[in-house]
Amino acid sequence: MITWTCRPWAELTCDELYAALVLRARVFVVEQTCPYLDLDGLDRACEHLWTADASGAPVAYLRLVPPGAKYAEPSLGRIVTAPEVRRHGLGRPLVREGLRRLRDRHGDVAVRIGAQKYLERFYGEAGFVRDGDDYDEDGIPHVEMVRPAGLPV
């Protein structure tokens, strides 16, 4: 059983925030060799969802982005799993839990994401469909995807 923690920005401890930012930097900046500004100004508007390992370090994380902050629709962002737990079955439950929480907060509405292109099939399994052409974001091919309202979580 996975234990999820979800907190709005104002309730994150300094240690929780630091640990989440370390995970994001490990994967999005170091592992993907992509120097970019991860701190995009949206974190304060978001809720932060994660599960941690036995030491308390987050190993799967995402942020719940409210409607109007990045897109008209609510969104999931900064979806990440630590390299050491990949293929351990955390990615799909992480996305499902994020979708469930967005539904609880905003109702049965469409959800939009900006996905790295190589993960298009993964997000497709969660009900997301391509919405537009590929685009470059910080040197990595991306695609916008939308999960229509009305799909079960």
Over residues 51-108, the pLDDT tens digits come to 999 999 999 999 999 999 999 999 999 999 999 999 899 999 999 999 999 999 999 9
137 within a domain of the structure (yes/no): yes
Percent of the chain with pLDDT over 90: 92
Residue 141 lies in a domain: yes
- Does residue 74 lie in a domain region? yes
Is pLDDT at 22 greater than 90 in this prediction?
yes
Where residue 127 falls (left for φ over 0; alpha for ψ -120 to 50; beta otherwise) is: left
- State the chain's mean pLDDT as an integer: 96
- 145, containing H or E segment: strand 140-147
pTM assigned to the model: 0.95
pLDDT of residue 1: 87
The number of domains in the chain is: 1
Q: What is the pLDDT of residue 59?
A: 97
- Determine, yes or no, domain membership for 153: no
Residue 110: which CATH number? 3.40.630.30
Nearest Cα neighbor of 53 from 93, 87, 91, 85 is 85
Q: 8-31 burial by CB neighbour count: b if 16+ within 10 A, else e?
A: eeeebeeebeebbbebbeebbeee
Please indicate, yes or no, if residue 30 is contained in any of the structural domains.
Answer: yes
59 within some domain = yes
Residue 105 lies in a domain: yes
| Owning domain of residue 17 | 5-147
